[in-house]
Amino acid sequence: MIDPYVPGTGNFGYRVSRYELDLEYKVAANRLTGTATITAATLAALQSFSLDLSDALAVSKVTVNGRRPQSFTRARGKLNIALASSVAAGAALNIVVRYAGNPRPIRTLWGEVGFEELTNGALVAGQPNGAMSWYPCDDHPSSKASYRIQISTDSPYHAVANGELLSRRVRAGMTTWTYELPEPTSSYLVTLQIGEYTGHQLAKSPVPMRAILPESLKSDFDADFAKQPEMMKLFEQLFGPYPLAGGYTVVVTDDDLEIPLEAQGISIFGANHCDGSGRSERLVAHELAHQWFGNSVTVRRWRDIWLHEGFACYAEWLWSPHGGGRSTQEWAEHYHAKLADSPQDLLLADPGPKDMFDDRVYKRGALTLHALRGVIGDENFFALLRDWADRYRHATVVTDDFTGLAAHYSDVSLRPLWDAWLYSTAVPEL
């Protein structure tokens, strides 16, 4: 088992370095046809291996290094491939999988995740193990790769995937969009967004920013997301340079979404987050901060998810006074009081799969950072965050990596702080 939090996903024996996805999606029929070309290297001598792929998608052909395997079979979200002869450790694998079907979300402990039909289009919400709902992959955050995604869909529709748009070709009522994502990215952070959207370049940002949304929401978007360029400026000061070459894209769907979603270089909001009221400002800051914490610096195992959500939540509190809201200290005191009134049975460093998206993980994670800042001071704290974002850029981490690095920025032992905030369930004094 790769990760007890997602026991069915992730695979042994190889490491993927690149995915090239050539896809066609028919919106009306919810029909996905794809060819995935996967470049990998073996970590041990192999005669068989598996990829994660939803049972809703049928596989018609598999080749490995140009040859058909001895066999391929499907079972419980796995594509199992048996080779005619063993491949040595360190050997290159070029795996091509042809597949098709009516994609649907994966049912999980946290609800449905992955590929989802909208009223008029589709979206992918991959966290934590929904990538397998639309392409064959090693579906675990510890496995990062580069991507090229080519998606053909009916011409009125705008198709968005991660990375830089290399080309857009129209032919016979279909438009083919080709995206290149060079930065190593976890499978759950790769996305596909399809709808009757228009694209807009946003002005006055230190990093190129785009908005892709229904035209009817444009004026509300201009109000609700007006402060995003200022957020980018602040976060670059506090966390270091924005980690992606291709800029930042916000997609707003025509449908309401329960929560916004992060993907590499992209955040996805529902129409309900874009109503002109400005109520979603903290969520705009939260999703942007994930580009550093979660998307570039990614957990190696899901138990350490506070390293994503605690950091993005703290970024909301750091932004708040700049947007005319409460001070960071006021937010810390507010949520400390709320946590003290909540059940004190959550271990931040290992909350368990059922509670990994519990709001207490977000708030206690943010309070842990605030407590650390109180001990080591502002100068050291923000130097530590910049070092963390730079040192582990496009890499994977565990909690010990952060506590180990933080030790270099403190004159006193941080062990009591970590014991109280990360490794005990009681809520410590602030």
pLDDT of residue 205: 86
- pLDDT confidence of 48, banded at 50, 70, 90? very high
What average pLDDT score do residues 394-399 get? 98
Answer yes or no: pTM beyond 0.75.
yes
Instruction: Give dist(CA 105, CA 149) in Å, integer.
Output: 20
Calculated CA dihedral for residues 295, 296, 299, 304, nearest 10 degrees: -80
- Whether residue 128 is preceded by a cis peptide bond, meaning omega within 30 degrees of 0, is yes
How does pLDDT run across 169-185, given as a tens digit for each residue? 999 999 999 999 999 99
Sketch out the chain's domains with CATH numbers: 1-102+129-185 (2.60.40.1730), 299-421 (1.10.390.10)
Angle between helical axes of 228-239 and 281-289 (0-180°, round to 10):
40
Q: Which of these, 342, 389, 386, lies nearest to 362 by C-alpha position? A: 342
Instruction: Give dist(CA 223, CA 278) in Å, integer.
Output: 7
What average pLDDT score do residues 77-84 get? 98
Looking at the DSSP bridge assignments, the partners of residue 124 are 115
Looking at the DSSP bridge assignments, the partners of residue 266 are 249, 263
Tell me which amino acid residue 240 is: G
Q: Which of these, 114, 148, 126, 153, lies nearest to 32 by C-alpha position? A: 153
| pLDDT of 206 above 90 | no
pLDDT of residue 203: 80
pLDDT of residue 204: 81
- pLDDT confidence of 385, banded at 50, 70, 90? very high
| pLDDT of 31 above 90 | yes
Instruction: Give dist(CA 222, CA 213) in Å, integer.
Output: 11
Instruction: Give dist(CA 209, CA 325) in Å, integer.
Output: 24
Secondary structure of residue 334 in the 3-state scheme: helix
How does pLDDT run across 245-304, given as a tens digit for each residue? 999 999 999 999 999 999 999 999 999 999 999 999 999 999 999 999 999 999 999 999
Beta strands in 44-190, from DSSP E residues, in sequence order: 46-52, 57-64, 71-75, 78-87, 92-101, 106-108, 111-118, 121-125, 144-154, 158-161, 164-171, 174-186
How does pLDDT run across 8-29, given as a tens digit for each residue? 999 999 999 999 999 999 999 9
